[in-house]
Structures are given as C-alpha cells and as structure tokens.
Structure 1
Amino acid sequence: MGEPESGRTLTQRSECEHDEDRLDVAIRGGTVYVGSRFVETDVGIRGNRIERVGRIESAREEIDASGCFVIPGLVNVHTHTPMTLLRGLADGFPVRRWFRKEIQPVEERMTAEDVYNGARLAIAEMLLSGTTAFGEMYFEEEAILRAVAESGIRARVGYGMSNEEKTREESEAQFGQAKRFVTHVRDAFTPRVTPMITPHATYTCDDWFLKRAAEVANTLDCPIHIHLSESKEDALDTIERHGIRPVEHLDRVGFWDANAYVAHAVHLDPSEIEILAEEDVGVAHCPGANMKLRSGFCPVSELREAGVSVSLATDGPASNNSLDMLEEMKLATLLSRCRLGTVDVESRTILDMATRVGADILDVEAGRIEPGFRADIAILDGEVSSLVPVNDPVSNIVYSANREAVRTVLVGGDILVSERELVPFDEDEVYDAARKSSQRIADGRELA
C-alpha cells in the first residue's frame, strides 16, 4: 500500500489488531461513478486507497451515501491559490494589462503570511466544492506548503520563477533554490504533497532560462509547468522575437525534453497541436479565466483529436473569480458548443477531464473509483434542488451541480469535509485572516 499519506498511523485507525481484514471506511448505498457510468454499489477503503467496489460486509467507519452521487475528487490542475486575496481586483481588463499593470503591483505588497492566508482560503473553497487535488504556481512557496500540509488536500506545488529584469547570476541562483525546494518537499512532506518547477511564461523567461529550467527538471526527475499562448500578444511576441510560434520555440530550446504540461494553450495553430501531441504535453484548459480576461478559446476538440491530454482548471481566483470546479465543468461544456465548426466535447468527457485526466497530468494515482487508486472522493447530495430529477446523472452533475450539493470529501481516505463542514480548518478564522490580509494589501499598508 505504500507509506501513510497523513499523520494517522494504522494503530490509530484500528480499534482491534486481530481484525486486520476489516476495511477502514465503507461508503454505502451511493450511486457511484465507476469507469464511465454510474452504478449503485458500495466503496471500501483501506488506508489511503480504494480496496473494493462492490458489496461491503463491514468497516470500522461507515458513510451513508444513500441518495447521493459518489464521484472521484475533482482535480484543478492549474491555479494560483493566494490570489484569493485579489479576487475582484482589476475587473474588465484583458490579460496582459490585467497582469502587468493591475495585479503585479499589488502582489509586490504580499508577505509570506498573506500568501498563507490566501492559500488557506483557496483550499477551503476547493475542498467545500469537491476538489481533492490541485496544481499550484506562485511565489512564497513555503507559506503555500504550510497551508497544504495543514489542510490534508493533495497538491503539486511549483517553484515559481522567471528571469525578467534579472542578471545571469540572479537567474542562475533561482535554479539552486529550485533544487533545494524540490529536495525539501520530497524529504519533509508526505506523498500527498509533491513538487514541480514552474517558469512563468515565454514572455518573462528568455531562451537560456527556459532551456536551463528543462535541464534542471530532468536532473531532478521533476515535472515542469508553464503558461503558454494565453493571449494573442503571447504568440505575436514570440513570432516577432524568434520568427516562430511559441510551441515551436519551446521545442527549439529543448523545453519539451522535460516532463511538461502547460496552462491555457489558447492561440495554437495545427502544427503546434501536432508538436504537443508528439511530445506528450498535457494541457490545462481554463475556460472561466479565458473568457473573463478575453483571452480566446482553447481548441479543446482539436487537441483531443490529436491525442493531447486536456484537463480542466480554474486558473487563479483573481482571474476567474471562482475555484469551483463544478462550475468550471459547466463552463467548459457550454464553451465547446459555442465554437462553431468544432466537435462538441461531451459532458461525460468533461467529467473525465476534471477527474481522471487531471489526476494523470499531476501524476496522482487518483481520479478513478477503482481498486488500487487513492481514495480521493467527493459525495454529492442527490436530493438538492439542482440535481432533481435524475434523467442523466452525468448531465446533472456537469450542468447543474454546485457547491451546495457537496456533502462529504475524502482525500487519501481522510474525511476533510463532513456534512458540508470543513474538518481541517476553522472556517471563520480562515475567512477573517484572509479579509485582514486583503484589506492591508489593497490599502498598501505595512504590517503592524
């Protein structure tokens, strides 16, 4: 089974040592998403993994899921959690103006404690809306790691970097810091928290830096993640500077030699899609943020038809402004129907993008309710008004489920949301701390 993911030991979980064959948790009576369909069955958990899908005789702890839908936990593969503190700022600007002129100056006032408070708020929002794992790209990474570890959520946390306005010596120093970060995460945290390297974008990292980032990622056997072609400006800048498009440029500098996945991938041409498929590069589709920032439409159908793994993400809560993956599934499905001349992306495919594909891109043994996979599970109350009646469970969940339906959430077999209440954090304290940090940042005040 592997090492425990949480602080609970087998002894703490077990009431009697002689009853070793008894499962730890049984989820009973639910309508369970198994493979690509819903079936009425039970789910049995031992340790941090699903052991059985079928009738369960007994377990130390039982969860009654009668009248509920039991689905794999949702996976948000690309976000910037501390940006909850900036939610609603600079509304209405296109992406490059939004980032450069409105957001970056405010971010410069954020302290490590602010980052921690923002990350906790984001994690609370994600857990309460059924997300069990996420991919993170930001700065003050230690503060984010602290929030992740306290919460029990699963995360791949990136070391954020760029060499914009930096000397070669300052840029090289970042790679030493990145190596220490990756080693620290692997040594100090459970397998529930894993590292990656996250150079920001092609317009904030030069050729040497991008190549070096890929080399370091390979040396560390660590994934690498980057923003790609989020706006037309991103693509045009690369063409102007290098005479080729962004995907081709990253190919030329050796970026795809690393285990890479990208965010957005909005402005692509057919040759770029072909390269992403050949290099096995995953894509994080962020429909809400792309629409809000007027970035354009990711060619999801074309990417999938070429064999590219396309997952789903919210992007940061300053550019979306929500971290609710249930909402993101609806946006992704509707958006696919607005792109004339393309093949619709079916709601069942969107559900898989938000679970199985996302887990695969983050290299997590989850995203499926099958024996052997991590017990990352969301239980949705099928009796809430938005899910009644049930003509098609997948359609209901993708188009009409919302946070009010999320009743229970498990990560690695640990219950982190119980009866719609957050277990790891005091919600009122989290919200109060985030409000104070946000107000201080907006006012430009120093810490007292």
Structure 2
Amino acid sequence: MKQIIKNVIIINPYEEPVKGFVVLDGDKIDRVVSGEPEERADSTIDGEENWLIPGFVNTHGHAGSSLLRGAGDDMPLDTWLKTIMWPNEKRFQKNTVEAAGDLALVEMLKSGTTTFLDMYHLNMPEFAQKIADTGFKAVLGRGMIGLGSEDEKKDKLKEAENLIKNWHNQAEGRIVTAVMPHAPYTCPPDFLTKSADLAAEYGVLFHTHCAETAKETEQHIDKYGLHPVEHLHQLEIFKINVLLAHAVHLETEHIDLLKKCNVAVSHNPKSNLKLGSGIAPVVQMKQAGINVTIGTDSTASNNTLDMVEEMRMSALIHKGLHEDPASSSAADVFASATIGGAEGLNIPGTGKIAAGYKADFCLVNTKAAHLTPNLEERAVSHIVYAMKSTDIKDVWIHGKHMMHNRELLTLDEEKVLFEADKQAQKLL
C-alpha cells in the first residue's frame, strides 16, 4: 500500500528541516521529498504544515506495574520495592496485568512512543500477543530475580528462552526479545552468567538494572569486592550486546569501561529523582562516547510514561547540576530519545525519517501558543523545551496509522481506562 503524508515539516536530529512530503511503501519510508507531491497514492494525508518527527524510543519500563501509579510515593527504592512493589505484585492476577499493560500502551502511544522496552515477569506471552494484535512495537524480556531454589531459577530462564523462541522477530518484525535479569543485587553471579549465555546463544540483547542507588552499589562492593560494572565485566557479560538501566553511581573508570565494551545506558531521570537515587553522570558518559538513551521506568516510580516529559527533564537537570547551560543540547537529547534509543535496543531502521527506515513517526500540531513563533530553525528547541505530549495528534508504527487526531485506532481507550480503574479497585 502506497501512502503519502504531504505538507509537513520533517524534523530529524542533527538535520535541517525539510518542508515537503513522505512516501510510504507498506511499512517503510520510500522517499522523503521537498515540495508538493504530483503522484497518486492509495492514501494521502495533508499534514497542514505541522511537524513530522520520529517516534520516541523508550528504552526501559515495566508496563505490568502501571496500576501501582501513586501507590508508594516518597520513599527510597529499597523500601519501595519491599513494601509496595513486591507485596502488591504477589497479588496480581491475569486481569490485573492485562489491564496494566493496556493502560501502558494507551499512555505511551498518546505521548508519541513508537518503540519501547518492557521488562516484566508476569504474563509476557500474553502481552506479546496484545502487541502483535494492536500494531505496537517492542523489545520484550521476562524480568528475572535470580533468588530462590535452583528449580525456580531454571524455570525463570526457561520462561525467558520460551519467550525468545516464540516471539523473537515476530509480528512482522515489530516484536524482538531480550534476556532481562533484574539486577546484580538480586541475581547472583552464576545466574547472571547463565542469563548472558542465553542471550549469546540467541543473539539477543542483555538488559539489567545497574548501580541505580548508592546503597545497592556499596553493598555489592562489600559482598563481592567489585563495583557492579566491574563485576559484570569480570563475568564477561560485556562481550555481548548490553543495555544497562540507570547507571547512576559510576566513577570515571566505570564510564571508561562501558565505553571500551560498547555498553549502552538507559537514562531514567524522573524515576531516579523521584526515588532519590541520584543523577546519572550523563554528561561524562556522553563525553566518553557512550550511547545514552532515554527511558521512563514504570508509572509506579515515575509516575508517567511520557517521553516528552522525560526528554525535557533529561535536557534540564544536567544543566543545573553542572551549572553549565552547554552541558546538554536540545539536538543531543532529541537524538537520545529517537535514533539513539533504537541503536541502544539494537533495532536498525527506526528512530529517523529517512528512505529505507520503518515508518515510525508522529505528526505534531504546531498551532499552539507554546510552540509559537513556529520557525523551522527553532523546531528542535521547541520539541525538547516547549512541546507537550498532547501536541502529538497522529502516530504511525510500521506505516500503520495508530492514532488520528488524538483518537486511538487499534485500542478502545475508554474501555482500557475503565478496566484499569476496576482492577485497581480490586487491589485496594
């Protein structure tokens, strides 16, 4: 099917805006052209001189816990996990997790996310099926805490392997899988090694939390005599494709090691701030050449899945921390939330509006006071420092129109919100 989206301002990181149109051939972008189209297509949409931007890539989250938004505010990570997250999740039923996953999909799509990573431990095959049926795009992994009996550990690794076997590169390539042990402080070395072996066997991403809090980092050093980053390196886990979540408590030698081993990082600024975990050394990591991507974490710790908010927070906090307005730039942050995220997830062909790339993008309504003056040379600045997620009016994933004029086309938003409230009430 040939589609044309005309009369748009095409905005890519590090590139001059293009006033013109995009031609889609099935799920891919065939051409990006300046001017007005003269050819015919099966479908033509007039963008009304609005911005067409790459969809956001959210590199870390936990969709299944979305119903715990606001359930445990204002407490440190360790206390929050032990008193709010883990006790509540033990009570989750299939309907709880389904309602939470649907809610996360609605929120992410309405804020312009076209690709996301999800680490969760309950009902992941069912979530994969929902993603396949509704047109979303994701990196999925069975989140694993490597504690308990040997049989329990084997069962978790088997579930992770089955998810890979059944869902990797499925749904027209919209679903890929990864191996996701929770963290070095919840997974002993032998479990981390077995997880890495599984990732290596299938050639998939290895993703884990790392050095999120000072307490966990210090305890790991006390127990093993090594910083978590050094320990992962000693276990030879960095020989495969690795994305670390958080990486807040790093010293220069750890940053150098991540760069040497080509390890990417998912920066989750709002969650780290809300949990009092600290501020990741993003400026130093970027200066070292590390690919620092952006993730939201879960609504239980953020409390939103809004990549527009996350992008702006990422842009601003480091300026204040370093008392240097040049320590971050709008262009760099926009790239981290799009093409950089796709590279961190090892998903080629997305995060940019260009020929040969998948048609994953958003149409932004620029007719708003906070986006005025609407000058092309200020577009990236406006996207990072002024845009709101409600300005995103249309979204496409793999060429499929997923949202039009803020109305979701593959999910019943009203039903999803009703069911989420219903299941949350049951938890109470």
Question: TM-score normalised by the shorter chain: which range applies?
Answer: over 0.9
Q: Contact 1:53/1:370 (CA < 8 Å) preserved in 2?
A: yes
State the 1:210 CA deviation.
Answer: 0.6
Consecutive aligned runs of 4 or more in structure 1 exceeding 4 Å deviation:
none
State the 1:420 CA deviation.
Answer: 0.9
Deviates more, 1:383-392 or 1:424-433: 383-392
1:102 to 2:80 alignment: no
Deviates more, 1:334-343 or 1:309-318: 334-343
The AA in structure 1 aligned to 2:58 is N
- 1:412 corresponds to: 398
- 1:26 corresponds to: 4
Find 1:52's aligned residue among 12, 31, 37.
Answer: 31
Report the Cα distance in structure 2 between the residues aligned to 1:43 and 1:242, rounded to whole angstroms: 54
The AA in structure 2 aligned to 1:338 is G
1:164-313 alignment, distance < 5 Å: 164=147, 166-186=148-168, 189-313=171-295
State the 1:35 CA deviation.
Answer: 5.1
- 1:18 corresponds to: none
1:247-396 alignment, distance < 5 Å: 247-340=229-322, 344-364=327-347, 365-391=349-375, 392-396=378-382
The AA in structure 1 aligned to 2:204 is C
State the 1:440 CA deviation.
Answer: 1.0
Q: Contact 2:141/2:160 (CA < 8 Å) preserved in 1?
A: no
State the 1:257 CA deviation.
Answer: 2.2
1:38 to 2:13 alignment: no
Cα distance change, pair 187–295 in 1 and its aligned pair in 2 (3 A): closer
Report the Cα distance in structure 1 between the residues aligned to 2:121 and 2:423, rounded to whole angstroms: 16
SS across alignment from 2:158: helix
The AA in structure 1 aligned to 2:398 is G
SS across alignment from 1:137: strand
1:422 to 2:408 alignment: yes
- 2:60 corresponds to: 78
SS across alignment from 1:160: strand
State the 1:147 CA deviation.
Answer: 2.6
Q: Any idea what the Cα deviations from partners look like across 1:118-137, whole Å, max 9, x if unmatched?
A: 11111111111111010000
- 1:437 corresponds to: 423
SS across alignment from 2:42: strand
Q: Any idea what the Cα deviations from partners look like across 1:193-236, whole Å, max 9, x if unmatched?
A: 11111000111100100111111110111111000111101210
Q: Contact 2:170/2:176 (CA < 8 Å) preserved in 1?
A: no
Q: Any idea what the Cα deviations from partners look like across 1:288-318, whole Å, max 9, x if unmatched?
A: 1111111101111111111110111111111
Report the Cα distance in structure 2 between the residues aligned to 1:188 and 1:290, rounded to whole angstroms: 33
Report the Cα distance in structure 1 between the residues aligned to 2:236 and 2:111, rounded to whole angstroms: 38
Report the Cα distance in structure 2 between the residues aligned to 1:408 and 1:89, rounded to whole angstroms: 32
Please list every run of 5 or more consecutive structure 1 residues that lacks an aligned counterpart in the other structure.
1-12, 14-23, 444-448
Report the Cα distance in structure 2 between the residues aligned to 1:189 and 1:362, rounded to whole angstroms: 17
Report the Cα distance in structure 2 between the residues aligned to 1:341 and 1:235, rounded to whole angstroms: 27
Q: Contact 1:201/1:226 (CA < 8 Å) preserved in 2?
A: yes
Q: Any idea what the Cα deviations from partners look like across 1:326-360, whole Å, max 9, x if unmatched?
A: 11111111112112266611011100000000111
Give the TM-score taking structure 2 as reference length: 0.95
Give the TM-score taking structure 1 as reference length: 0.91
Cα distance change, pair 189–53 in 1 and its aligned pair in 2 (3 A): closer
SS across alignment from 1:378: strand
Please list every run of 5 or more consecutive structure 2 residues that lacks an aligned counterpart in the other structure.
none
Deviates more, 1:417-426 or 1:94-103: 94-103
Q: Any idea what the Cα deviations from partners look like across 1:23-72, whole Å, max 9, x if unmatched?
A: x1111111111452322121111011111000532321112112311100
SS across alignment from 1:105: helix
State the 1:101 CA deviation.
Answer: 1.8
- 2:134 corresponds to: 151
Report the Cα distance in structure 2 between the residues aligned to 1:411 and 1:268, rounded to whole angstroms: 36
1:135-150 alignment, distance < 5 Å: 135-140=117-122, 141-150=124-133
Give the percent of matched residue pairs that are identical in Structure 1 and Structure 2: 32
Cα distance change, pair 187–67 in 1 and its aligned pair in 2 (3 A): closer
SS across alignment from 2:120: coil
State the 1:174 CA deviation.
Answer: 2.2
SS across alignment from 1:182: helix
The AA in structure 2 aligned to 1:26 is I
Report the Cα distance in structure 2 between the residues aligned to 1:27 and 1:73, rounded to whole angstroms: 15
Deviates more, 1:386-395 or 1:225-234: 386-395
